[in-house]
Each structure stands twice: as C-alpha cells, then as structure tokens.
C-alpha cells in the first residue's frame, strides 16, 4: 500500500499530516525568506547607526498606503486559500472566481505602490536621497517584483481552473502557487511595520 493510501492508523476526524505542495517549492520559499531575513537585518543595523535620520525619513512615508496594501495582500491570500478549498470540493467555477479575486488584489497592490513611488519621486525623494530611502526603494522594489511574479502565477492558475486541470484530490500546482503567494503576503507583513511604523 502506498503512503498516500495508507490510512489505517489514522484516527477518524484527524487528518493525516502531509506536506502542502512539493518539497521543491518549500526549498525555494525558505531560500527567498532567508534572503529577506538578511535584508531585514541590514535595515535594522542601518537604522541602529543613524536612528535620527531613519526616524525623520520615516515621517515622509504615508502609513495609510502601507496599511491599505497590507489589507489588500491579506485579502488576496484569503482568496487563494478559498480557491484551494473550492478546488478540493471540485467547485472549479468558484475556485476560478477566487483566483481572479486574488489576482485583482495583486494588481491593486502594484497600482497603489506605483502611485506611492510617483508621489515620492515628485517630492524629489529617490533611491539616492539617503540610506533610509535606499532601503525603502530596494526592499519594496524587490518585494514588488515578487508581487508581479506572483500575479503572473495567479493568472496561469486562473486559466488552469477554467480548464479544470487540477486534481481535486491533490491539486499540487495550485498548492505551490498559493504557498508562493502567501509568502509574498507574509514578507510584506514584516516589511510594512519595519519601514513605516518602527519608531
């Protein structure tokens, strides 16, 4: 009997432990998260060396942008989780709508970020202004690249849901895409307070 079908030792009502997605996606996600952890560390050490500059520069950021963007990404992640739930129940049309919702949230995040960047550049603030803004543009820029890549993945998953090409028993591709998208969300959950709120 294969490990997947061997359920004789599992008590009723307690689902068997299993790895969501595949091992490879976790290696990729953990590597990406480690890189971000190092970047978070660099930012905090930079702040330690010049707290007055970082605090003054932070006030040039609008926390409403950061807060609303967090709400957008959290909602997007929720849609991705609901899409997975719908596929597991073979409700492909519903899953497609949730994936579409997650994609639109990703798009909204990118648009909001573009508005925020434009506002900063129009105020004469750029990557070269000071150390704080070097970190701000670099960290949010790398994160925005992840959002754009994740949105492309969501678009592919939307087409896959439309053609019902997921296995409801084990929708591995959708699980992997969702894991990546949740990582994009959780990195922003830390990045946002670090840049906008730490005082």
Partner 1 sequence: MELLCKPVSIVWAALMLATCASTWLLSKNSVTPEVATVAIVLIAAFKVRLVIGYFMEVRRAPLALRLVCDGWLVAVTALIVTVYLV
Q: Which residues of 72-110 are buried (b: 16+ CB within 10 A; e: fewer)?
A: bbebbbbbbebbbebbbeebbebbbbbbbbbbbbbbbbb
Return the range that interacts with partner 1 (CB under 8 A); candidates 4-12, 108-116, 128-136, 172-180. Answer: 172-180
In the complex with partner 1, the residue whose CB is nearer, 32 or 119, is 32
First to last CA, the chain: 58
Of residues 123, 120, 155, 122, the one with CA closest to residue 140: 120
In angstroms, what CA-CA distances link 25 with 135, 150, 178, 181, 185?
27, 13, 10, 11, 16
C-alpha–C-alpha distance, residues 192 and 69, integer Å: 9
Q: Pattern 3-22, binding to partner 1, x per CB under 8 A?
A: ------------x-xxxx--
Choose, by CB under 8 A, the member of 67, 91, 104, 134 that binds partner 1: 67
Site residues for partner 1, window 108-147 (CB under 8 A)?
Answer: none
Find the shortest distance in angstroms from Cβ 57 to partner 1: 15
Q: Summarize as ranges the residues that interact with partner 1 (CB under 8 A).
A: 15, 17-20, 26, 30, 33-34, 37, 40-41, 44-45, 47-48, 63-64, 66-67, 70-71, 74-75, 77-78, 80-82, 85, 175, 178-179, 182-183, 185-186, 189-190, 192-194, 197-199
């Amino acid at each position: 009997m294969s490990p997947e079908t061997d359920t004789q030792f599992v008590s009723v009502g307690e689902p068997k432990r299993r790895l969501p997605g595949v091992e490879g996606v976790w290696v990729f996600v953990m590597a990406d998260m480690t890189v971000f952890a190092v970047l978070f560390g660099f930012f905090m050490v930079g702040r330690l060396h010049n707290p007055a500059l970082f605090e003054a520069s932070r006030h040039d950021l609008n926390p409403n942008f950061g807060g609303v963007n967090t709400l957008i990404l959290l909602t997007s992640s929720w849609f991705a989780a609901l899409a997975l739930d719908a596929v597991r129940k073979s409700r492909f049309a519903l899953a497609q709508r949730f994936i579409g919702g997650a994609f639109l949230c990703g798009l909204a995040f990118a648009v909001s970020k573009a508005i925020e960047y434009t506002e900063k550049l129009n105020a004469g603030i750029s990557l070269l202004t000071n150390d704080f803004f070097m970190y701000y543009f670099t960290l949010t820029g790398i994160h925005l690249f992840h959002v754009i890549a994740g949105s492309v993945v969501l678009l592919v998953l939307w087409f896959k849901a439309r053609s019902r090409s997921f296995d409801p028993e084990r929708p591995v591709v959708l699980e992997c895409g969702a894991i990546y998208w949740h990582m994009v969300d959780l990195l922003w959950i830390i990045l946002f307070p670090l840049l906008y709120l730490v005082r």
